[in-house]
Amino acid sequence: MNIFNRWGEKKFDILAVVLIVVFVFACFWKLGNCGLADWDEAIYAEISRNVLHGHFFTLFWNGANWFQKPPMAFWLQAGAFKLFGVSEFSARFVSATSGVILAWITYIFSRKLFNQKIAIIALLLFVSDTFLLFYSRFGTTDVLVACLATAALYFFWLSEERKTWLYPFFLLIGLAVMTKGPAGLSPLLIIIIYLIITRQFLSYFKNIHAWIGILLMLVVMLPWHIYMLEKFGLGFWQQYYSYQIVLRSKVAIEGHTGPWYFYLQSISRYLPIVIFLPLFFLVPKETVKKYQNPIIFIALWLIVQFITIQSVATKIEWYILPVHLPLVITLAVIIFSIISRSKICVLPTVFLLLLTALIPLYRTTRWRENKIYQTNKICLATYQSLASNQNRIYYLDGYSLPTTIFYLQPKMAYYYETGDYKKIPIGMKALIKDQKPLPIGSSVVSDAGCKVVEQIN
């Protein structure tokens, strides 16, 4: 007898709680043991610390205003600094917490769309997806905005039964925009296409609750944008929109290039079970008929997100994170269809799926800490040893600038980013600054990619 038919709802909920606990442990275990990473993580941590020092509306980094992102994620990160103190753990706390909430939303959303059996498989796939775990342990905005966007889509689905759920739907979109700018509007694009395909568009937007929700969204996201435009004008707009959105979409900036299969390669590396995706066409017709609208919704979510991200010229691995969420749900539908049609006991299959949930525990403790952040540990020791020499000016390799600012401020009075540099002839331990060697007598501290040039006064 199929194990899915014997298990009651209570047992599935208990299993879901166990899996969430596993993911909580994987997200938070030794979360603050590693140094912050260049660039984004260290930059975001320093900006959040500056929020505590009074830069609340106008974000501030490296002695200048910083216009690249809205402030909500930095407000939350600053709150973590206030609660736990300024540390690596605090810098990653919001992202890790968002990852745990996102795991739970994936479960309850899948259960609402389909059934509890598909939901538990989706949660198993989520917990075993090391890509989602990695970025949940990384102090940037991506998991937070994915959490807000997915929660928004969940409330939209609830609104099909009760239109007042449109209020949290639009509110969460506003918060997503305040986290990552126009990219936070992606749920709105998905549901507009869905409503057009299912011929519900006019009925939805004739409803007064939709317009109240839109007003609520605008109240959340417009004041900060208007304030920044009023105060900084074109300078803000060029950095925030023209550079971060338009140019990034058209041109591969900052060296972030990749082949057309860049994101496909990334997904297959972190979620190898994606090879079963073509088997979606083998899902029984009765299942497709029973769940017609949920399947249309998930397919649109997956396709719209992937096409949008794929069309951006700048290729960065974490851009594809939002695609992992509809992907694990789609794969769960496929796996459930295979299992439910099986005539043999599926206990070994469930056991293997449970085993995959333990993968993050190993990869978290061995892979990320020992390889990804080994360089930062060495750099941190170097920075700390230099911090006592307050009568020095340090010329910094541009790549190491964000971590240096975070760890040495306010002990360093001056920072200099060399930008493009190259080593001068062997024997002279220095870096070229402005295409000219530093004066004789300069020394360089360079270890495992951590390059700090000390200029002796």
pLDDT in tens, the chain (457 residues): 455 555 667 788 889 999 999 999 999 998 988 888 878 999 999 999 999 999 999 999 988 899 999 999 999 999 999 999 999 999 999 999 999 999 999 999 999 999 999 999 999 999 989 899 999 999 999 999 999 999 999 999 999 999 999 999 999 999 999 999 999 999 999 999 999 999 999 999 889 999 999 999 999 999 999 999 999 999 999 999 998 899 899 988 878 889 999 999 999 888 888 888 888 888 888 888 999 999 999 999 999 999 999 999 999 999 999 999 999 999 999 988 888 776 544 555 555 555 555 555 555 444 444 333 444 544 555 555 555 554 444 444 445 667 777 876 644 333 333 333 333 222 222 333 333 333 433 334 333 344 444 443 3
Which residues sit opposite 455 in a β-bridge? Answer: 393
Number of Cα atoms under 13 Å in the Cβ half of residue 152: 27
pLDDT of residue 6: 57
Dist CA 105 CA 449 (whole Å): 39
Residue 145 neighbours by CB distance under 10 Å? 25
Q: Which of 44, 71, 33 is nearest to 175 (CA)?
A: 71
Residue type at 243?
Y
Residue type at 68?
Q
Residues 6 or more apart whose Cβ sits within 8 Å of residue 87: 32, 81
CB neighbour burial string for 273-309, b if at least 16 within 10 angstroms, e if fewer: bbeeeeeeeebeeebeeebeebbebbebbbebbbebb
